[in-house]
Amino acid sequence: MKANSHKSYEIRVQLLNERPDDRQIVTPEDAVSYWRDTVTKAPWYFSDREIALALVLNTRCRILGHTLVSIGSLNESVVHPRETYRAAIAMNAYAIVFMHNHPSGNPTPSEADTRMTRRLSEAGTLLNISLIDHVIIGDPEHYSFKGSGIL
């Protein structure tokens, strides 16, 4: 093996022109609808594991895309601001909506969820990319941190 050999990879992001029919995320219900219509159909989605992702938004709160942040276990996933904001930085995003599910079906936030929301909000402030909501998906209910005093 060569000295200093390492694997490298390239991230390719392609922005498309905004179309009038692009999905807009204004309410937590808009984000939940996107989750149910798109995320649950992805090949990497498992309803018995916590899935964390970020919706990447432009200035009109239209979806530029989403990024998978973490696939966790039954009751937790590892979330770091670095992975959460990576695609948003690359796509020159205005804001993100962070989302994750609770496989138990109960969307009530844990203390860890609240701490994570604060941390992501602080990171977004430093990056000048707003965290406009953190939505926890349950079955059939959801929880939104919007208006909770944390965001």
Domain coordinates in residue numbering, the chain: 28-144
Provide the whole-model pTM.
0.85
> Into which CATH architecture does domain 28-144 fall?
3-Layer(aba) Sandwich (3.40)
Sequence-separated (6 or more) residues with CB below 8 Å from residue 68: 44, 51, 52, 53
Q: What is residue 124's predicted lDDT score, i.e. its pLDDT?
A: 97
By mean pLDDT, which of 10-14, 103-107, 132-136 is the weakest? 10-14
Q: What is residue 6's predicted lDDT score, i.e. its pLDDT?
A: 67
Q: In what order do the strands lie in the sheet with 130-137?
A: 63-71, 51-57, 95-101, 130-137, 142-144
DSSP-H helix ranges across the chain: 28-37, 81-90, 111-127
